[in-house]
Amino acid sequence: MKNLQENILEIQANIEESLDKVGRTKDEVTLIAVTKTVDVDLIQKSLDLGLNNIGENRVQELQRKYEEIGDKATWHMIGHLQTNKVKYILDKVSLIHSLNRISLAKELNKRAKDTNKIIETLIQVNVAEEESKFGFKTGEVIPFIESILSMENIKIKGLMTIAPYAEDPEEVRYVFRELRNLKETIESRNYKEVDMKYLSMGMTNDYKVAIEEGSNMVRIGTALFGKREYK
Ligand SMILES: *Cc1c(COP(=O)(O)O)cnc(C)c1O
Protein backbone atom coordinates (compact mmCIF):
# COMPACT_ATOMS: atom_id res chain seq x y z
CA MET A 1 0.00 0.00 0.00
CA LYS A 2 1.20 3.48 -0.82
CA ASN A 3 1.24 5.98 1.94
CA LEU A 4 -1.81 7.82 3.10
CA GLN A 5 -0.77 11.19 1.78
CA GLU A 6 -0.24 9.79 -1.70
CA ASN A 7 -3.60 8.08 -1.57
CA ILE A 8 -5.33 11.31 -0.61
CA LEU A 9 -3.66 13.24 -3.41
CA GLU A 10 -4.53 10.56 -5.94
CA ILE A 11 -8.19 10.48 -4.90
CA GLN A 12 -8.42 14.27 -4.95
CA ALA A 13 -6.92 14.34 -8.43
CA ASN A 14 -9.38 11.69 -9.61
CA ILE A 15 -12.27 13.66 -8.15
CA GLU A 16 -11.18 16.78 -10.04
CA GLU A 17 -10.73 14.79 -13.22
CA SER A 18 -14.23 13.31 -13.00
CA LEU A 19 -15.73 16.73 -12.33
CA ASP A 20 -13.88 18.19 -15.30
CA LYS A 21 -14.92 15.34 -17.53
CA VAL A 22 -18.59 16.27 -17.19
CA GLY A 23 -18.12 20.03 -16.97
CA ARG A 24 -18.76 20.34 -13.24
CA THR A 25 -15.68 22.50 -12.91
CA LYS A 26 -17.02 24.70 -10.12
CA ASP A 27 -18.57 21.95 -8.06
CA GLU A 28 -17.10 20.56 -4.90
CA VAL A 29 -17.21 17.00 -3.70
CA THR A 30 -16.95 16.21 -0.01
CA LEU A 31 -14.55 13.35 0.60
CA ILE A 32 -15.62 11.29 3.58
CA ALA A 33 -12.89 9.05 4.94
CA VAL A 34 -14.55 5.79 5.92
CA THR A 35 -12.62 4.71 8.98
CA LYS A 36 -14.36 1.53 10.11
CA THR A 37 -11.67 -0.80 11.53
CA VAL A 38 -9.03 1.95 11.16
CA ASP A 39 -7.37 2.75 14.46
CA VAL A 40 -7.38 6.15 16.08
CA ASP A 41 -3.72 6.91 15.37
CA LEU A 42 -4.24 6.55 11.66
CA ILE A 43 -7.43 8.62 11.80
CA GLN A 44 -5.49 11.35 13.61
CA LYS A 45 -2.91 11.19 10.87
CA SER A 46 -5.56 11.59 8.18
CA LEU A 47 -6.93 14.62 10.03
CA ASP A 48 -3.43 16.10 10.16
CA LEU A 49 -3.23 15.58 6.40
CA GLY A 50 -6.32 17.69 5.91
CA LEU A 51 -9.22 15.24 5.79
CA ASN A 52 -11.91 16.30 8.17
CA ASN A 53 -14.99 14.27 7.35
CA ILE A 54 -15.02 10.85 9.01
CA GLY A 55 -17.57 8.12 8.28
CA GLU A 56 -18.32 5.21 10.60
CA ASN A 57 -20.92 2.50 10.23
CA ARG A 58 -21.14 1.21 13.79
CA VAL A 59 -22.36 3.13 16.79
CA GLN A 60 -20.00 1.59 19.34
CA GLU A 61 -16.95 2.16 17.21
CA LEU A 62 -17.99 5.72 16.48
CA GLN A 63 -18.50 6.42 20.18
CA ARG A 64 -15.14 4.98 21.14
CA LYS A 65 -13.29 6.98 18.51
CA TYR A 66 -15.26 10.12 19.20
CA GLU A 67 -14.10 10.01 22.80
CA GLU A 68 -10.53 10.38 21.63
CA ILE A 69 -10.95 12.60 18.61
CA GLY A 70 -14.01 14.66 19.43
CA ASP A 71 -15.07 17.63 17.36
CA LYS A 72 -11.75 17.90 15.55
CA ALA A 73 -13.50 15.82 12.91
CA THR A 74 -16.93 16.11 11.32
CA TRP A 75 -18.65 12.78 11.92
CA HIS A 76 -20.95 10.94 9.55
CA MET A 77 -23.05 7.91 10.45
CA ILE A 78 -23.13 5.87 7.26
CA GLY A 79 -24.29 2.45 8.48
CA HIS A 80 -27.58 0.92 9.51
CA LEU A 81 -28.67 2.58 12.73
CA GLN A 82 -30.59 0.65 15.36
CA THR A 83 -33.36 2.66 16.93
CA ASN A 84 -32.15 2.00 20.48
CA LYS A 85 -28.73 3.44 19.67
CA VAL A 86 -29.86 6.80 18.31
CA LYS A 87 -29.37 8.41 21.69
CA TYR A 88 -25.66 7.62 21.72
CA ILE A 89 -24.76 9.44 18.55
CA LEU A 90 -27.18 12.31 18.16
CA ASP A 91 -24.85 14.77 19.85
CA LYS A 92 -21.81 13.55 17.90
CA VAL A 93 -22.68 13.26 14.23
CA SER A 94 -23.35 16.07 11.82
CA LEU A 95 -25.12 13.93 9.22
CA ILE A 96 -26.85 10.56 9.24
CA HIS A 97 -26.70 8.98 5.78
CA SER A 98 -28.84 5.98 6.56
CA LEU A 99 -32.38 7.08 7.29
CA ASN A 100 -34.01 3.94 5.92
CA ARG A 101 -37.30 3.38 7.74
CA ILE A 102 -40.13 5.20 9.41
CA SER A 103 -39.43 3.86 12.92
CA LEU A 104 -35.95 5.38 12.76
CA ALA A 105 -37.37 8.72 11.64
CA LYS A 106 -39.72 8.71 14.62
CA GLU A 107 -36.95 7.96 17.08
CA LEU A 108 -34.61 10.55 15.56
CA ASN A 109 -37.30 13.19 15.68
CA LYS A 110 -38.22 12.39 19.26
CA ARG A 111 -34.65 12.38 20.54
CA ALA A 112 -33.74 15.50 18.60
CA LYS A 113 -36.77 17.28 19.97
CA ASP A 114 -35.89 16.25 23.54
CA THR A 115 -32.46 17.82 23.16
CA ASN A 116 -33.61 20.84 21.18
CA LYS A 117 -31.72 19.85 18.11
CA ILE A 118 -32.32 19.57 14.39
CA ILE A 119 -30.74 16.41 13.04
CA GLU A 120 -29.69 16.41 9.40
CA THR A 121 -30.21 13.20 7.46
CA LEU A 122 -30.01 11.64 4.04
CA ILE A 123 -32.54 9.10 2.89
CA GLN A 124 -30.96 5.77 2.01
CA VAL A 125 -32.22 4.37 -1.26
CA ASN A 126 -31.68 0.77 -2.34
CA VAL A 127 -31.81 1.64 -6.02
CA ALA A 128 -30.78 -1.81 -7.22
CA GLU A 129 -33.24 -3.46 -4.80
CA GLU A 130 -30.64 -5.82 -3.41
CA GLU A 131 -32.01 -8.20 -0.78
CA SER A 132 -28.90 -7.79 1.35
CA LYS A 133 -29.14 -4.03 1.63
CA PHE A 134 -31.22 -1.59 3.59
CA GLY A 135 -32.97 1.38 2.10
CA PHE A 136 -36.15 2.44 0.38
CA LYS A 137 -36.97 1.42 -3.14
CA THR A 138 -36.89 4.38 -5.48
CA GLY A 139 -40.67 4.51 -5.71
CA GLU A 140 -41.08 4.56 -1.94
CA VAL A 141 -39.03 7.66 -1.31
CA ILE A 142 -41.53 10.41 -2.07
CA PRO A 143 -44.32 8.81 0.01
CA PHE A 144 -41.79 8.44 2.83
CA ILE A 145 -40.77 12.09 2.60
CA GLU A 146 -44.40 13.15 2.68
CA SER A 147 -45.00 11.01 5.74
CA ILE A 148 -42.26 12.74 7.73
CA LEU A 149 -42.68 16.35 6.61
CA SER A 150 -44.32 17.16 9.93
CA MET A 151 -41.32 15.91 11.92
CA GLU A 152 -39.82 19.28 12.66
CA ASN A 153 -36.59 18.09 14.24
CA ILE A 154 -35.46 16.14 11.19
CA LYS A 155 -34.01 17.99 8.26
CA ILE A 156 -33.69 16.04 5.03
CA LYS A 157 -30.53 17.08 3.22
CA GLY A 158 -30.41 14.65 0.33
CA LEU A 159 -30.10 11.03 -0.71
CA MET A 160 -27.60 8.21 -0.23
CA THR A 161 -27.10 4.92 -2.01
CA ILE A 162 -24.70 2.00 -1.99
CA ALA A 163 -24.34 0.52 -5.46
CA PRO A 164 -23.94 -3.24 -5.89
CA TYR A 165 -20.34 -4.32 -6.19
CA ALA A 166 -19.32 -4.58 -9.84
CA GLU A 167 -15.95 -5.39 -11.32
CA ASP A 168 -16.63 -2.76 -13.96
CA PRO A 169 -18.22 0.35 -12.38
CA GLU A 170 -19.92 1.18 -15.69
CA GLU A 171 -22.34 -1.60 -14.80
CA VAL A 172 -23.67 0.44 -11.88
CA ARG A 173 -23.75 3.83 -13.58
CA TYR A 174 -27.55 3.45 -13.89
CA VAL A 175 -27.81 3.31 -10.08
CA PHE A 176 -26.22 6.73 -9.69
CA ARG A 177 -28.19 8.16 -12.56
CA GLU A 178 -31.43 6.94 -11.06
CA LEU A 179 -30.59 8.50 -7.70
CA ARG A 180 -29.79 11.83 -9.34
CA ASN A 181 -33.07 11.70 -11.27
CA LEU A 182 -34.91 11.02 -8.03
CA LYS A 183 -33.18 14.01 -6.42
CA GLU A 184 -34.32 16.21 -9.29
CA THR A 185 -37.88 14.92 -9.07
CA ILE A 186 -37.95 15.68 -5.36
CA GLU A 187 -36.52 19.16 -5.96
CA SER A 188 -39.20 19.88 -8.53
CA ARG A 189 -41.82 19.32 -5.83
CA ASN A 190 -40.48 22.26 -3.81
CA TYR A 191 -41.12 20.88 -0.34
CA LYS A 192 -40.11 23.74 1.88
CA GLU A 193 -38.91 21.35 4.60
CA VAL A 194 -36.59 19.44 2.27
CA ASP A 195 -33.20 20.53 0.95
CA MET A 196 -31.73 18.17 -1.65
CA LYS A 197 -28.21 19.43 -1.09
CA TYR A 198 -26.29 16.17 -0.96
CA LEU A 199 -26.04 13.12 -3.15
CA SER A 200 -23.93 10.71 -1.13
CA MET A 201 -22.85 8.11 -3.64
CA GLY A 202 -19.59 6.53 -4.70
CA MET A 203 -17.10 4.30 -2.86
CA THR A 204 -13.59 3.11 -3.68
CA ASN A 205 -14.67 1.03 -6.62
CA ASP A 206 -17.13 3.39 -8.26
CA TYR A 207 -16.65 6.99 -7.09
CA LYS A 208 -15.47 8.30 -10.45
CA VAL A 209 -18.62 7.12 -12.21
CA ALA A 210 -20.73 8.37 -9.29
CA ILE A 211 -19.23 11.86 -9.63
CA GLU A 212 -19.83 11.85 -13.36
CA GLU A 213 -23.48 11.19 -12.50
CA GLY A 214 -23.73 14.04 -10.00
CA SER A 215 -22.40 12.85 -6.65
CA ASN A 216 -21.17 15.56 -4.31
CA MET A 217 -20.27 13.32 -1.39
CA VAL A 218 -18.11 10.22 -1.75
CA ARG A 219 -17.44 7.70 1.02
CA ILE A 220 -14.04 6.12 0.63
CA GLY A 221 -12.27 3.57 2.80
CA THR A 222 -10.14 1.09 0.88
CA ALA A 223 -8.52 3.57 -1.51
CA LEU A 224 -7.34 5.60 1.50
CA PHE A 225 -6.42 3.01 4.09
CA GLY A 226 -5.90 -0.16 2.09
CA LYS A 227 -7.88 -3.34 2.17
CA ARG A 228 -9.26 -4.32 5.55
CA GLU A 229 -11.35 -7.11 6.93
CA TYR A 230 -14.86 -5.76 7.26
CA LYS A 231 -16.88 -7.57 9.85
C1 LIG B 1 -17.43 0.56 4.01
C2 LIG B 1 -18.33 1.56 3.43
C3 LIG B 1 -17.86 2.48 2.47
C4 LIG B 1 -16.42 2.49 1.94
O5 LIG B 1 -16.17 1.40 1.15
P6 LIG B 1 -14.78 1.23 0.36
O7 LIG B 1 -15.10 0.31 -0.74
O8 LIG B 1 -13.80 0.67 1.34
O9 LIG B 1 -14.36 2.58 -0.12
C10 LIG B 1 -18.77 3.41 1.99
N11 LIG B 1 -20.06 3.44 2.41
C12 LIG B 1 -20.53 2.59 3.32
C13 LIG B 1 -21.95 2.69 3.74
C14 LIG B 1 -19.69 1.62 3.86
O15 LIG B 1 -20.17 0.76 4.77
Residue 227: the pLDDT is 83
Which DSSP state fits 101? Answer: S
pLDDT band at 60 (very low <50, low <70, confident <90, very high): very high
* Residue span of the structural domain in which 113 resides: 4-224
**Predicted structure pTM score:** 0.96
Query: Mean pLDDT across the chain, nearest whole number?
Result: 96
Q: For residue 203, which atom of ligand 1 is closest to its CA?
A: 9
The Cα–Cα gap between 77 and 27 comes to 24
- Phi then psi dihedrals of residue 177, to 5 deg: -65, -40
Q: Kindly compute the dihedral angle of the four CA atoms of residues 169, 94, 216, 158, in this order, to the nearest 10 degrees.
A: 90
Does residue 89 surpass a pLDDT of 90? yes
- In sequence order, the β-bridge partners of residue 120 are 155
Probe target for ligand 1 pocket from 34, 98, 100, 123, with the most ligand atoms within 8 Å of CB: 34
Does residue 1 surpass a pLDDT of 60? no
- Whether 134 is in a domain gets the answer yes
- Whether 229 is in a domain gets the answer no
Domain count along the chain: 1
The Cα–Cα gap between 207 and 76 comes to 18
- Whether 119 is in a domain gets the answer yes
- In sequence order, the β-bridge partners of residue 217 are 30, 200
Task: Write out residues with Cβ below 6 Å of ligand 1.
Answer: 34, 36, 57, 78-79, 162, 203-205, 219-223
Between the CA of 109 and the centroid of ligand 1 the distance, in Å, is 26
Q: Summarize the confidence of residues 203-228 as an average pLDDT.
A: 96
Residue 231: the pLDDT is 47
Does residue 37 surpass a pLDDT of 60? yes
- Whether 66 is in a domain gets the answer yes
Q: Whose CA is nearest to atom 12 of ligand 1?
A: 78
- Whether 50 is in a domain gets the answer yes
For the segment 125-166, what is each residue's pLDDT rounded down to a tens digit?
Answer: 999 999 999 999 999 999 999 999 999 999 999 999 999 999
Helix ranges (H only) for the chain are 4-21, 40-48, 59-69, 86-89, 102-114, 141-148, 173-188, 207-212, 222-225
What CATH number does residue 66 fall under?
3.20.20.10
